[in-house]
A and B are shown apart, each in its own frame.
Chain A
Amino acid sequence: MSKTISIDPITRLEGHGKIEIFLDDKGDVEKAYLQIPELRGFEVFSQGRPAEDMPQITQRICGVCPTAHHMASTKALDDLYKVTPPPTAVKIRELFYNVFMLEDHALHVYVLGGPDFIVGPDAPKEQRNIVGVIGKVGLEVGKKVISMRRRLREIMTVLGGKVIHPVLGLPGGVAKSVPPEDLARFREIAKDGLEFARFTLKVFCDIVLSNKGYVDLITSDAFTHKTHYMGLVDKADKVSFYGGKVRVMSPEGKETDSFEIRDYLDHIAEHVEPWSYIKFPFLKKKGWKGFTEGADSGVYSVAPMARLNAADGMATPEAQKAAEEYFKVLGRPVHHTLANHWARVIEMLQAAERINELLNDPEITGKDIRTIPTATPTRGVGVVEAPRGTLIHDYQTDEVGLIRKANLIVATLGNSARIAMSVEKAAKGLIKAGVVNDGLLNKVEMAFRAYDPCFGCATHTLPGQMPLTVSLRDPQGRVVRELSR
């Protein structure tokens, strides 16, 4: 009798999700996948709206990474109106964006995904959270996280008017220059931000890397997939969060594709499965060959580990040094999903270093912050590296700039095929002949929590509403057994 096991909803992610595991007649896992709640009606919602409203509208899609949507949308407007922002405007955007990356990554490391490692994967479940992190590394760290995050957000508030739903980006530039009187304070925050990133790397190295058990877990087969990797790189082919060209690396670490985002439809296509409304983007040149690994498969991955794999190195010196150590320990390219946690910390370091570079750049307080668009709009595509991977906004408009069609490829989707493979691999290792191993829930969750998937839903964090349940269903879809905690 084939059965379906559902784990619903996935907790401690940004938004809600659900895992479906199908069993075959023998009770072994036939396939497993991650179901993401669909947000409906965005196309209709955006049609007919002025394109310049999109940076404000799209950032409301998600309460977690509004800045990524705001920036991708702003860049799509640059392309739509064929306008190049002045250098100061680009630097201000980059400053704002790196502050966001540092803050968002810190949230994941200390609050969302990191507790599995900082507290320990085998620690009692009640401790694998921020409370446990404080218990393990000390109250001072908790204070540091909260205060650092707040101070970084001060910079965002000054530049964007407000942290959530900023009003910074405009086609061809930004709305506000960096006030010279705030520069000294910003530099102070940036210096502390860099210290904070260094400290985080030390915490990670001390706790995780010095523990052979953790390293074995990271490199274990259950959490390993050899796929392609995608990320934005700068002119020197180094990791870039704000912009550059898209680069794709093969599982052997060879560049297989490189393109400007405007041409993405020639390089990325989306596969649809009958059992899911989630789309599975894949490399067009390779074609869709199923949920398979290897150089011939079109499956690719995004987010920190993929970004580090796709680039020749980090764009800043300390991050580069940290990345060298990372590749020395794990090999290159890195195929271990859980390495995303480590790569994320290295990216925190790059973001912090870049913030310092930008704030010490004489151009950052320049007043030339806008190039006024004059072209007639038709279509515009923008891209950034969101914390969770490559984020693409593509708008088509009429001649006065009203949206006809808006297509977003959100970051988590870039990992959807690989996440499905991770969930399936973990499930196959833990369910045999219908017997569900107790470690199932956490191991399967760990398999995809490392991707930091964001489901872009509304942000509900009330107590007790996110229990983890496993439902076994018969072929007719009836629940025959339910486990929950």
Chain B
Amino acid sequence: MVLALGNDILGDDAVGFHCVRLLRDRRAGRPGVDLVETGESGLAVLDLIEGYDRAVILDAVVTRQVPPGTILEFSKADFQRLRGSSPHVSGLPELLHVAERTGMKMPSVLAVLALEVETPDTFGETLTPGCQASLPGFVRRCEELLASWGH
């Protein structure tokens, strides 16, 4: 599955949604990949990805450590390494750990693609021009990943 996280009225924060919508058009008629948008986080994300063999999670991030438009990628291996890096993050790594320990069936392969954005905090239903320009590359990277999984 491809799962986009974000807020659809907070401008660039919705870049994952825009990506999924484009993927939906481009993949029309090709089954095998569920394309899902959600405004939720945390435990609710586990409910959404449970039962899938492989999942890509799309999100917008603001690290200010890389230029806007940069795609950051994380894998499950990163999660192993990063777990506990900060005492107060209830992020995906911890939640995945909890899910697996409690017997939920989590994807064996999980990738996170996060696009660095500048303005995820202004209400609006469109992307800023810079983010819009980065969108095709974000879509392409997601398609490459799906292709490498045989989709």
Complex: A146 Cα to B79 Cα, angstroms: 20
A44 touches B123 (CB 8 A): yes
Using a Cβ cutoff of 8 Å, how many contacts connect chains A and B? 158
Q: Which of chain B's residues have a CB closer than 8 A to the CB of A404?
A: none
Residues of B within 8 A of A (CB): 5-10, 13, 38-47, 59-61, 63, 74, 78-79, 82-95, 97-99, 101-104, 112, 114, 120-124
Known: A131-B97, A459-B5. A11 touches B88 (CB 8 A): yes
Q: Which of chain B's residues have a CB closer than 8 A to the CB of A468?
A: 86, 88
Q: Which of chain A's residues have a CB closer than 8 A to the CB of B89?
A: 11-12, 129, 461, 463, 466
> What are 23 A-B contacts with C-beta separation under 8 Å?
A44-B123, A60-B7, A60-B9, A63-B7, A63-B39, A111-B42, A111-B43, A126-B84, A126-B87, A129-B88, A142-B102, A143-B103, A146-B102, A164-B44, A458-B7, A461-B89, A463-B74, A463-B78, A463-B82, A463-B83, A463-B89, A464-B78, A467-B86
B123 touches A111 (CB 8 A): no
The 4 closest A-B pairs by CB, nearest first: A125-B87, A12-B88, A459-B41, A126-B84
Complex: A38 Cα to B121 Cα, angstroms: 7
Complex: A44 Cα to B94 Cα, angstroms: 38
B61 contact from A111, A146, A460, Cβ within 8 A: A460
Known: A129-B88, A463-B78, A463-B91. A45 touches B60 (CB 8 A): no
Q: Which of chain B's residues have a CB closer than 8 A to the CB of A463?
A: 74, 78-79, 82-83, 85, 89, 91-93
B91 touches A466 (CB 8 A): yes
Complex: A125 Cα to B84 Cα, angstroms: 8
A39 contact from B6, B40, B94, B121, Cβ within 8 A: B121
A66 touches B59 (CB 8 A): no
Known: A107-B43, A150-B47, A461-B42. A112 touches B90 (CB 8 A): yes
Complex: A12 Cα to B89 Cα, angstroms: 5
B90 touches A111 (CB 8 A): yes
B104 touches A146 (CB 8 A): yes
Query: Which residue from chain B places its CB closest to the CB of A124 in the assembled complex?
Result: B87
Known: A63-B39, A128-B87, A468-B88. A458 touches B123 (CB 8 A): no
Complex: A45 Cα to B124 Cα, angstroms: 7
Given contacts A126-B87, A139-B102, 20 further A-B contacts (CB under 8 A): A11-B88, A13-B88, A40-B123, A41-B124, A60-B39, A131-B84, A146-B99, A146-B102, A164-B44, A442-B87, A449-B88, A458-B10, A461-B41, A461-B92, A463-B78, A463-B82, A464-B74, A464-B82, A464-B85, A466-B86
B39 touches A462 (CB 8 A): no
A131 touches B94 (CB 8 A): yes
B7 touches A462 (CB 8 A): no
A107 touches B91 (CB 8 A): no
Q: Which of chain A's residues have a CB closer than 8 A to the CB of B43?
A: 107, 111, 146, 149
Annotate A226-260 by CB proximity to B: 1 below 8 A, 0 otherwise.
Answer: 00000000000000000000000000000000000
Q: In this assembly, does A379 line the interface, its C-beta being within 8 Å of a C-beta of chain B?
A: no
Complex: A221 Cα to B83 Cα, angstroms: 34
Which residue among B38, B78, B91, B124 has the maximum number of chain A CB atoms within 10 Å of its CB?
A: B91
Q: In this assembly, does A57 line the interface, its C-beta being within 8 Å of a C-beta of chain B?
A: yes
B39 touches A459 (CB 8 A): yes
Q: Which of chain B's residues have a CB closer than 8 A to the CB of A40?
A: 121-123
Query: Which residue from chain A places its CB closest to the CB of B72 in the assembled complex?
Result: A462
B98 touches A462 (CB 8 A): no
Q: In this assembly, does A23 line the interface, its C-beta being within 8 Å of a C-beta of chain B?
A: no
Known: A39-B10, A130-B95. A462 touches B85 (CB 8 A): no
Q: In this assembly, does A64 line the interface, its C-beta being within 8 Å of a C-beta of chain B?
A: yes
B102 touches A107 (CB 8 A): no
